[in-house]
Structure 1
């Protein structure tokens, strides 16, 4: 986590006041977009020269020295190493033992048949975006009417918990071993989501079940709900109401009518486990919205950032540094921009995504956001796209990369500081996992899936979700699909 900024020196010029009422369409200059590519990173080759001489007092000493060197060289080669003298003749320092290279080629470890393949979609519930958790050696997956755990090594079912209704939403991250899901008892289509259930991921048992409290008797649910778990609490937020529950027993801890003045309610929240961001929207027709950073210890506001007029917050790709995704009001069906926010709660850069990046797959590390561009058809009728790196300080493009292959690539996360990218399988060729050099986007393959399962891999990965955990690749299909298999794993 980034450390808080140091105190401002005594003679620092006053900060520019926050612009509270700025319409994005009335900016005096266009927001920063993708600039020209930066200079190529990298340094020149290095090398050394010179030779060392050694004298001797006679032919015998020279012959003895040659014998000793030859024996040492043979011993070094026999041990799998080399003599480690530099060209300058200096003695070497301590050397790390060589490690075996990681295996790049993988095998298809297991498949899980799709239990919904031949079921009626309406009877099984309207498909919702599923959530997957990894805990206790299991990959645990939500489905329309149950939560099921699969052994990560075998793919066999460990346990399954039926839901008392149709799934509406689930917390993306558990709190310890506790996770909460929202469901509808009365609707087959996933509407009227007014019941909350907590599950223990270790035992695979239900912990508690509770109805959502309602301030307005005319409400049937909270409207477009989201669940967030944070430090022993479960927050359920929607467009009309919100409530906070105790994660251990489901007690209602908070059910506010108002969050701040003028009918502003908490609609969404996001956390990395250390920092909490809250998104607030105000009364219908008002149009005002805010993002607040909250002190997790005290629950008090650290700063408040007003969303520029004409924009609506759609998500929070990163909490530290703060990055929010937004839609323009006249194009609410798509995410149109990313906005980076400073540690003091001020706008840094507005990054336009139109025709370029895809905010749904955005990952952030340091001062860079990595996006996948829209796919384009190639001459041989396959799809390809690029990974784009953008500077969060000024919104300028740092580089773009095909990630080492002409195929569709999706950012998954990071291996160290290197972005991790999944490249979907093509006809006769399995998918790949590659990492990218954060300086210039140069790709290195770390996992290659087998060609024999390429077709099934592609079918499941298309519109599905991909995870890389404990050196294994997991692919889960989209709910409601009619593929033969629900999930695959490669090791």
Structure 2
């Protein structure tokens, strides 16, 4: 087999609804830099032959905070007799610029900005004591500049796993709980069992909802009794094994942000638009609600006004019995059961909460100062009233932060192209270690202001920070691979632990399982993906599940890889789901959900 022609250099991300594109490997933009603008694909992209190895998508990014509303693009002139070959990595329909160009309208289903006056003012004091949530008096142009330039930028950081103290598995779209604090480093103690035969089968599939505009479908949750997934202006609960619908919760508008956390009673939170927006526009992400995942009931819904208009929420999370939302104008919190306001922005504040990390603890990312002289504070707060328990002041020059984990407390901070992880003591606010993670060495991304606890593929727990290495050439022709390595959270030093993905595979950390790390292995062109457990002490890799490598299953699975989809694993079952709905390409079958399980 001869090598196919090389792809065009530095080809930017494609708009949605495009057929598969030839793989390319342009350099990713660093956090704080806007990505390259979209471009139409070439009229005659070269077609690799059967068996051409799939390449990892270089544009895989977190869901954007304010994505571009693209017009319906025309498919390229493919030869009708030559559809994309099996084994070719499908085009990622979600790889879009993280922010729209100035003046562009946000796409249907996306969170939009409110309509503030030129100078932003805040409402009266909230009912909760202890939280001094203010907003800077910023000219709207500056606020828009933040959102457009850096709000949804790319960080080379990733998300923590989920806390085993909770009976539910949080969504991989932004889990922010680790396990084990910064103490012990032994493996074992996991709940996931090793099956007699790891070969899986497809349990059920949910077709991707069709929409002329791209619509956010973020949010997936797994408990012992239900797997729940956001669709277009709805959330559906499914039987975890059979896929039959248990309940459907209709919403007035699309979901625009979803908590990855579930409390001990099976409740979570979402932010959504108050109505279905007109095509090419947004109704604003102004509503927040608590949802009972057992029954599918909406417990309550609220909004927070700033003057005469409602705040537009950027993120939402759950910590203990509190739902907290962040925005560019400050944070608010509600009791998860009653909806009682615990705190909200105040008019005399000089700082504001950009957002929160949830789970067993609540952590606020708080911004003070002016636009060109900003200062970030990482605060562990009491979820019941917002009172500060401990605080760490981020170093000057670190302009953006996201919470990787609240227990242990690990924060990703970024300035220019350099990213670091800060391991912080929850009780005292003391910095334990600062771990450098340059983008040319380590993989992973956080999605800035839109998801303060939205880091993916980084896990903190068992006294360790687990990171992927960037992809590099494997031993086979065209193949790629990577590794997972770990750092000590007390010293910041590499531990020497290293788990190799294997030729053609790439590893992505998912969450902690006791003292073990669970990870997903993206597959090569002729095999299915895997779930593996990595022992926290020995770093021994044990296969828990391996998906079929048949053409139809492989094509669906590789459209839902962890860089740009949500992946949950629990009770021996794997759930992969899309974070956008759109009009599907005629060249591939796309799914909202694919679920796999073993017979063991």
Q: Fold match, TM over 0.5?
A: yes
Mark the runs of 5 or more structure 1 residues left unpaired by the alignment.
1-99
SS at the partner of 1:121?
coil
In structure 2, what is the Cα distance between the partners aligned to 1:295 and 1:183? 26
SS at the partner of 1:336?
strand
In structure 2, what is the Cα distance between the partners aligned to 1:433 and 1:209? 37
Q: Which residue of 1 aligns with 2:574?
A: 473
- Conserved 8 A contact 1:142-1:148: yes
Structure 1 residue 109: deviation in Å? 3.4
In structure 2, what is the Cα distance between the partners aligned to 1:456 and 1:297? 43
Comparing 315-324 with 369-378, greater Cα deviation is found at 369-378
Does residue 221 of the first structure (1) align with residue 311 of the second (2)? yes
> Aligned pair in 2 of structure 1 residues 429, 268: CA closer, same or farther (>3 Å)?
same
Q: Which residue of 1 aligns with 2:437?
A: 353
- Conserved 8 A contact 1:317-1:325: yes
Deviations 1:331-352 (A, max 9, x none): 4xxx711111135212222222
Aligned residues: 377
Does residue 370 of the first structure (1) align with residue 457 of the second (2)? no
SS at the partner of 2:581?
coil
- Conserved 8 A contact 2:443-2:469: yes
> Aligned pair in 2 of structure 1 residues 184, 415: CA closer, same or farther (>3 Å)?
closer
- Conserved 8 A contact 2:342-2:384: no
Structure 1 residue 153: deviation in Å? 0.9
In structure 1, what is the Cα distance between the partners aligned to 2:537 and 2:570? 25
> Aligned pair in 2 of structure 1 residues 420, 199: CA closer, same or farther (>3 Å)?
closer
Asked which structure has the greater RCO (Cα within 8 Å, sep 6+), the reply is 2
Structure 1 residue 420: deviation in Å? 1.3
In structure 2, what is the Cα distance between the partners aligned to 1:425 and 1:396? 31
- Conserved 8 A contact 2:194-2:544: no
Q: Which residue of 2 aligns with 1:422?
A: 520
Deviations 1:377-419 (A, max 9, x none): 4342132111111122232222333145541111111233121
Q: Which residue of 1 aligns with 2:291?
A: 199
Structure 1 residue 191: deviation in Å? 5.7
Q: Which residue of 1 aligns with 2:199?
A: 106
Q: Could you say what the CA RMSD is over the residues aligned between the two structures, in angstroms?
A: 2.6
In structure 2, what is the Cα distance between the partners aligned to 1:371 and 1:226? 24
Does residue 165 of the first structure (1) align with residue 253 of the second (2)? yes
Q: Which residue of 2 aligns with 1:255?
A: 344
Larger Rg: 1
Structure 1 residue 446: deviation in Å? 2.5
Q: Which residue of 1 aligns with 2:424?
A: 341
Q: Which residue of 1 aligns with 2:365?
A: 279
Q: How does 1:65-464 map to 2 (within 5 A)?
A: 102-116=195-209, 118-122=210-214, 125=215, 127=216, 130-135=218-223, 137-175=225-263, 176-185=265-274, 187-188=277-278, 189-190=281-282, 192-210=284-302, 212-217=303-308, 220-222=310-312, 225-257=314-346, 263-273=350-360, 275-285=361-371, 286-296=373-383, 299-328=386-415, 330-331=416-417, 336-343=419-426, 344-354=428-438, 355-359=440-444, 360-378=456-474, 379-399=476-496, 400-439=498-537, 441-452=539-550, 453-461=553-561, 463-464=564-565
SS at the partner of 2:370?
coil
- Conserved 8 A contact 2:506-2:521: yes
Mark the runs of 5 or more structure 2 residues left unpaired by the alignment.
1-192, 445-455
Return the TM-score normalized by structure 2.
0.58
SS at the partner of 1:454?
helix
> Aligned pair in 2 of structure 1 residues 412, 138: CA closer, same or farther (>3 Å)?
same
SS at the partner of 2:306?
coil
Q: How does 1:48-59 map to 2 (within 5 A)?
A: none
Structure 1 residue 442: deviation in Å? 3.4
- Conserved 8 A contact 2:205-2:595: no
Name whichever structure is richer in strand by fraction: 1
Structure 1 residue 190: deviation in Å? 4.4
> Aligned pair in 2 of structure 1 residues 138, 487: CA closer, same or farther (>3 Å)?
same
Does residue 485 of the first structure (1) align with residue 591 of the second (2)? yes
Q: Which residue of 2 aligns with 1:8?
A: none
Comparing 421-430 with 294-303, greater Cα deviation is found at 294-303
Name whichever structure is richer in helix by fraction: 1
Structure 1 residue 299: deviation in Å? 4.6
